[in-house]
Structure 1
Amino acid sequence: MWLAVPAAAQQRSKKQPTKSTKAKPRTAARTARPKSKAQLERERLANLRQIQQTSQALNQTQEKKKVSLGQLHVITEKLTVKKQVIQGISTQLQGIETNVHQTAKQVLQTQQTLSELKAEYARLLYTASKTASGFNQLMFLFAADSFNQFALRLRYIRQYTEERQRQAARIMGAQYRLHEQLTGLTQQQQRKSRLLSSQLNENKNLLTLKSKEDEMVQQLSQQEQGLRQELEEHRRSVVRLDNLIAERVREEIARAARAARLAAKREAALAAARTARAAAARRAAAPSPRREPDAPASANAAESDNATAAPESDAPETAAEAAADRRAVRVALTPETALLSSSFAGNRGRLPWPVGRGFISQRFGRHPHPVLKNVTVENRGVDIQTGAGEAVRACFDGKVLTIANIAGMNTIVMIQHGDFFTVYAKLRSVNVHEGQRVSAREVIGTVATDGEGTSEVQFQVWHNSANLNPESWLGHR
């Protein structure tokens, strides 16, 4: 009988860890890992900054009091960001709903545990009340038949008292956990309520923006003739820019091929001269009975000097050589330019944006016209809409290859990075000159603003003669 309470305590102590350490199914490990609260908050702040920037761009274009494609691009971008904000709120609501469900389950478990602890504590108190007086406890001790039984009964009384104290502490701990869980549940429900209200407001704003976009599309559709004329002018300017880029790339490939060929010729001539000097030195050192006294060793030196003074590389370029240079399809790289090209390629997806703020208003490749039906437009790069007078920066170290003015594209700057080229079009002013070495993030000019109040820069990336998608090269904002 005296071991009944300790045995029950031991049995409960074995059961309790089993509840807390019960294995849970690892289905979450097989699915996509949910975003953390900090990551969702970073995305929310980034979306808010993007909305602020698009609002500034919209105010700039609306100053002209005329609906334009630039305004439509801003509204479309705001719609995209708003959808991302609403999606982020939905993700947070799903997370809160999961947490609320788990917390409610924990509350029920804690309440059940607390009820069991209180019931067991009541049994302990009832049993203790029978021997509450010190006299009863002494009678229980001195009624022992032997000293060993006396020691065991004394140990039983101590364990019984300690168990009651531990049980009281468990009850207090369970009550504290229950209070914490209920408080957390209330906070989560309040946060859920705030997010639902925010989601409702964002949905209303989304509907307003969608209506505004539809209205702009309808107004622009009434200007179909002007839009088609504007599109044709833009196509002509794009063709002029493409021709300029292709011509400059071909010229650079041919120039690099000629430089590599001449360097190879010079190296071959120098090698031949070294071989001639070595042969002359061997002949001078070898004994010869018929050697003329008036044939000094300087004659051999003069012969080798003639070999290096007028190497074959200094000869005029032949038509075949020039044709071979023009047939080259890749930039011949020196060790220095090869290192630069490799470094540029290694930074794919991490290049800085050419402007400090803005958004991509027109993406790379072929896509339908935002207003004109059955009309497809093609973009060789990306158009980044930004603020008026925004500084345009080089995205990587390189050499300014070309600066030119093209109708419809304003001033363009083309920078070479080994066998890669980046193009910055629609600039109002330029701060660099051809042949200048520039570093990453160095300001090369400022963005131009068109007659409709739209300020945007076009950014292109080329690898030799291949046109690449700049979005896969630019880093995250």
Structure 2
Amino acid sequence: MKPYAFRFQFLTNTLVGSFLGFRSLLLGICLVFSVTVSWAQQSPVSREQLEKEKKENLQRIKEAQRILSETSSRRESSIGQLNAINEQIQARESLIQSISQELELLATQINELGGVIVALEEDLVNLKEEYAHMVYATSKTSNSYNRLTFLFSAETFNQLFRRIKYMQQYSQARKNQVNQIQKVRETLINQRETIESKRLEQQVLLDQQVIANQDLIALKTKQRALIRDLSQKEKQLRKEVAKRRNDVQRLERLIAKLIKEEIEESAKNKTENAVALNTSKEELSTSFASKKSKLLWPVNSGFISQRFGNNPHPVMKNILVPNDGVDIQTNQNAQVKAVFDGVVIAITPIPGPGNSKAIIMQHGEYFTVYSRLKDVNVRKGQAVRAEEPVGMVYTDSDGISALQFQIWHNQQKLNPEPWLQRR
């Protein structure tokens, strides 16, 4: 092979090598991108969702602690205290689960980033070797005489033109190789910084997990002690359950009677309370039904301490406590608000001791009941808008401030929990 033909072939090989180096860089960048996409696609829960859940659980813990402090000021042991502690335990367990999921997510990301860094380091070594070969080859043909000799030894004009183009491409290939090396270096630095940042986040989460576990252990110890104290008052607790059943039955009959009378009165006179809200009964019913899972909460803060239906007693085994709605344990003097536009059809005293009251509001074919109020801000027949205050929650002798909230569809009791928006 002629010397210049050899150089021509060498230039061709160098350009091919440069292309392979560029391909290597491209593969490295694609790998970084694919890892980022995989975090979004493979993870069942995103970091943003887990952070949101953490904030929600921390808010639940804060509210339950405030309610517990108020309840504890009245007596040493009560069901209200136990409800607040149980709520804190559930929130702590959810918080720990969110932290664990976030730690798993970070561990996966760190492992994948480690693989990216290894691949980028290999690319950098390969690119540097290719560049060294190019520099070495250039040094052999660096003087003007050799370049001119190489060009003018061409046998045809077309061959001369191709050699000029190859020399231009060779010069550009060297510049590209330098740019590729710099890009890989920058990407590698960024990935190393990212992995270090995620390791710091991981350590913060581990610290949070340790504190949350310690708090959970302390709460469960307090829960066991409270249950032990309450168990010694079984006779008193049984009386309270019997009274609760009696009160629930009496209130249920009263609400059913008032709703039935309102339905009959509306049918008899062909009048609709919904007129006060400038809408028809059918439209109001449809609008209320569309709000399932989106209804406002009747109080700003608090938690569901007793759910719809028959609930296991928190202390006594094999004892069920009935509920026609949900009990929302909240702060003393908490303001109670209407959950939807409606009309007040009744304000009635609640059967049993105490001076608490109940408000019944109509929303077309639907009715909402706000029970255990100490003060009422509305009157019968008044049109009320959503979020408008209707009263203030009642606090019993045990220091428990719990609103009883019910939803009825005509004369059918509904579980209010699926209707309320997630908090």
Kindly indicate whether the alpha-carbon contact (under 8 Å) linking 2:113 and 2:191 is maintained by their aligned counterparts in 1: yes
Please name the residue that 2:321 is paired with.
377
1:250 paired to 2:260 = yes
Q: Which amino acid aligns with 2:185?
A: Q
Please name the residue that 2:408 is paired with.
462
- Name the SS of the counterpart of 2:301 in structure 1: coil
Kindly indicate whether the alpha-carbon contact (under 8 Å) linking 2:274 and 2:342 is maintained by their aligned counterparts in 1: no
Tell me: CA distance 1:182–1:20, structure 2 relative to 1, closer, same or farther (3 Å).
closer
- Name the SS of the counterpart of 1:354 in structure 2: coil
- Name the SS of the counterpart of 1:3 in structure 2: helix
What is the CA deviation profile of residues 196-240 of structure 1, one whole-angstrom value per residue up to 9, with x for unaligned ones?
Answer: 111111111111111111111111001111111111222221122
Kindly indicate whether the alpha-carbon contact (under 8 Å) linking 1:253 and 1:332 is maintained by their aligned counterparts in 2: no
For 1:118, which of 107, 128, 134 is the aligned residue? 128
How far apart are residue 473 of structure 1 and its match? 1.0
Please name the residue that 1:195 is paired with.
205
For 1:139, which of 125, 140, 149 is the aligned residue? 149
Cα distance in 2 between the residues matched to 1:475 and 1:149: 78
How far apart are residue 16 of structure 1 and its match? 5.5
Please name the residue that 2:382 is paired with.
436
For 2:396, which of 410, 425, 450 is the aligned residue? 450
- Name the SS of the counterpart of 2:346 in structure 1: strand
Please name the residue that 1:63 is paired with.
73
Please name the residue that 1:7 is paired with.
16
Cα distance in 1 between the residues matched to 2:42 and 2:241: 44
What is the CA deviation profile of residues 99-145 of structure 1, one whole-angstrom value per residue up to 9, with x for unaligned ones?
Answer: 11111111011111111111111111121121233333233334444
Q: Which amino acid aligns with 1:8?
A: G
How far apart are residue 393 of structure 1 and its match? 0.7
The two structures have a TM-score, normalised by structure 2, of: 0.89
Cα distance in 1 between the residues matched to 2:421 and 2:306: 17
Q: Which consecutive aligned stretches of 4+ in structure 1 deviate over 4 angstroms post-superposition?
A: 11-25, 331-335
- Percent identical: 37
Please name the residue that 1:105 is paired with.
115
For 1:402, which of 334, 340, 346 is the aligned residue? 346
Kindly indicate whether the alpha-carbon contact (under 8 Å) linking 2:86 and 2:223 is maintained by their aligned counterparts in 1: yes
Q: Which amino acid aligns with 2:120?
A: T
1:73 paired to 2:73 = no
How far apart are residue 156 of structure 1 and its match? 2.5
Cα distance in 1 between the residues matched to 2:215 and 2:164: 76
- Name the SS of the counterpart of 1:434 in structure 2: coil
Please name the residue that 1:218 is paired with.
228
What is the CA deviation profile of residues 133-188 of structure 1, one whole-angstrom value per residue up to 9, with x for unaligned ones?
Answer: 33332333344444444333333322222111111111111111111111111111
Kindly indicate whether the alpha-carbon contact (under 8 Å) linking 1:397 and 1:417 is maintained by their aligned counterparts in 2: yes
- Name the SS of the counterpart of 1:164 in structure 2: helix
Unaligned runs of 5+ residues in structure 2 are 1-8
How far apart are residue 411 of structure 1 and its match? 0.7
Larger displacement relative to structure 2 (130-139 or 416-425): 130-139
How far apart are residue 356 of structure 1 and its match? 0.9
Alignment of 1:278-317 (within 5 A): none
Tell me: CA distance 1:19–1:195, structure 2 relative to 1, closer, same or farther (3 Å).
closer
Cα distance in 2 between the residues matched to 1:371 and 1:191: 41
1:422 paired to 2:422 = no
How far apart are residue 333 of structure 1 and its match? 9.7
What is the CA deviation profile of residues 390-437 of structure 1, one whole-angstrom value per residue up to 9, with x for unaligned ones?
Answer: 110111111111111122572111111112111111101001111111
Cα distance in 1 between the residues matched to 2:199 and 2:23: 35
The two structures have a TM-score, normalised by structure 1, of: 0.80
Tell me: CA distance 1:250–1:148, structure 2 relative to 1, closer, same or farther (3 Å).
closer
Cα distance in 1 between the residues matched to 2:245 and 2:320: 11
How far apart are residue 349 of structure 1 and its match? 1.3
Q: Which amino acid aligns with 1:414?
A: I
How far apart are residue 380 of structure 1 and its match? 0.7
- Give the root-mean-square deviation of aligned CA atoms: 2.6
Kindly indicate whether the alpha-carbon contact (under 8 Å) linking 2:43 and 2:105 is maintained by their aligned counterparts in 1: no
For 1:393, which of 337, 342, 346 is the aligned residue? 337
- Name the SS of the counterpart of 2:102 in structure 1: helix
Unaligned runs of 5+ residues in structure 1 are 264-330
How far apart are residue 13 of structure 1 and its match? 4.5
1:93 paired to 2:39 = no
For 1:337, which of 271, 275, 281 is the aligned residue? 281
Kindly indicate whether the alpha-carbon contact (under 8 Å) linking 2:347 and 2:360 is maintained by their aligned counterparts in 1: yes
Q: Which amino acid aligns with 1:400?
A: V
- Name the SS of the counterpart of 1:349 in structure 2: coil
Larger displacement relative to structure 2 (409-418 or 422-431): 409-418
Aligned residue pairs, count: 406
How far apart are residue 332 of structure 1 and its match? 12
Tell me: CA distance 1:244–1:6, structure 2 relative to 1, closer, same or farther (3 Å).
same
